[in-house]
Amino acid sequence: MDLFVIGDTDTVLGFAYAGVDGETVESADEAARVFGQVIDEGRVKILIITERAAGLIRDDVDHVRFEAQSPVIVEIPGPEGPDPDRRSLLELIREAVGIRV
C-alpha cells in the first residue's frame, strides 16, 4: 500500500473514490490509534492526513515527520478549508533543521 488517508468522513470517502484506502477519525484517541497502526505496519509510503486530524495528535505527527524516514506525511485541509494557524513550509524546515535559512 503506497497511500493512506486519515481524516473526516468526506475526505476519506473522496480518496476512496480514487482508490486510496483510509480511515475516518473523530477524536484524538481514534487519530492516535489509526496513526500508530499505519506507522507500525510500515507499508505506507505517503500518509495523507487532514489538518484537523493532525492537530489532534500534533506531537506524534511532528515526531514522525522529523525523526523517521518514512512515511512522508502530507497535511491537507478538510472540508472546512485551510487552518489559518497552520505553520508554513519554511517554519517546518527551520524547526526540522534547527537553523534559519
Extended beta strands in 1-101, E state:
3-7, 21-24, 46-50, 72-76
Burial code of 15-26, b = ≥16 C-beta within 10 A, e = fewer?
A: beeeebebbbbe
99 band by pLDDT with thresholds 50, 70 and 90: low
In the CATH hierarchy, which fold is given to the domain comprising 3-97?
Answer: Rossmann fold (3.40.50)
**Whole-number pLDDT of residue 13:** 94
Distances (CA, A) of 101 to 64, 70, 78, 96, 97: 23, 24, 30, 12, 9
**pTM metric for this prediction:** 0.80
Where along the chain do its domains lie? 3-97
pLDDT band, residue 100 (cuts 50/70/90) = low
